[in-house]
Structure 1
Amino acid sequence: MALHLLKLCVGVDSVEDLAAHIAHRLAVSGAAVTWHITRMVPKRIDELIDGGSLYWVIRGQVQARQVIVGIEPFTDHEGIGRCRILLDPTLVTTRHQPKRPFQGWRYLKGADAPADRMQAEEGADDLPPDLSRVLEELGVI
């Protein structure tokens, strides 16, 4: 079973905001992958890059994920150890799952990860996100 990371998506108000940020970073860098830099290096790297994803918490709800394609520890220009988490640029929306604020990142077991939202079952793309979340919590969509 895959191991994932859970991270707060600070400064982003919606999945659309995150998608725009990813698109901008790809356009500016010309890279085929995007990345997120953290201070701590995960100890379970092999498990994370073997099918793991970075799940993004947006406004108190897990709402999206990106597949982890690599993890690169490095030292920044100030001599501080950092970690670059390399991510597939494809953003996959997930069923909303409430999460309280926390610092840094957390491991997320595959069994505890929210399911991906399927476009066919959504049928609610035009609904406001808050209404969509309430209907999802009720089990309607």
Structure 2
Amino acid sequence: MTTHIHLVKLSVGTEGVDDLAAWQKQPQVQTKDGFPCHVTRMRPKREPEILAGGSIYWVIKGQIQARQKILRLDEVDRGDGIRRCAIVLDPEIHRTASALRRPFQGWRYLDPEDAPADLPKTRDGEEALPPELSAALADIGLL
């Protein structure tokens, strides 16, 4: 039985993992205690499973390229009467093997067995493969 679940989310406007890291260092996307976060209108219903070891997997340019451990889910009040959820993240970004993803809105759950593996630290500086090449390699079982 799965004890935890992940989220997968598009990183809209991000050109690469380094761009995501730079964006998250901006004060307006950090919590008061200095952690990067992503604010969403919907609070995940599977919160206990997410907090039991889940990560957010970032889709950049049509491919999952990185993940961050989810630390907590905070309620956000911006004074407009709309309840929001801040997905609070570990600042360390782990690059992952590329996995193609079609565009979608919001976030989706991702079972651990379907999550791409982390890349070895020695490959941290590598950029993701172009989507066409990644798809071709996946089709022949090399990715």
Q: TM-score range by the shorter chain?
A: 0.7 to 0.9
Distance 1:32 1:90 in 2: 13
Q: 2:118 aligns to what?
A: 116
Moved more, 74-83 or 40-49: 74-83
1:56 to 41, 46, 58: 58
CA contact (8 A) 2:25 2:36 kept: no
Deviation at 1:49, TM superposition (A): 0.8
SS of the equivalent of 1:68 reads strand
1:96 to 69, 83, 98: 98
Deviation at 1:134, TM superposition (A): 3.8
Deviation at 1:129, TM superposition (A): 3.7
Aligned length in residues: 137
Aligned-CA RMSD value: 2.8
Deviation at 1:97, TM superposition (A): 0.1
Runs of 4+ aligned structure 1 residues displaced above 6 Å come to: none
Deviation at 1:29, TM superposition (A): 6.5
1:13 to 12, 15, 20: 15
TM-score, with structure 1 as normaliser: 0.83
CA shift in 2, pair 1:44/1:16, >3 Å: same
Can you give the 5+ residue segments of structure 1 that lack an aligned partner in the other structure? Answer: none
CA shift in 2, pair 1:42/1:135, >3 Å: closer
Q: 1:71 aligns to what?
A: 73
Can you give the 5+ residue segments of structure 2 that lack an aligned partner in the other structure? Answer: none
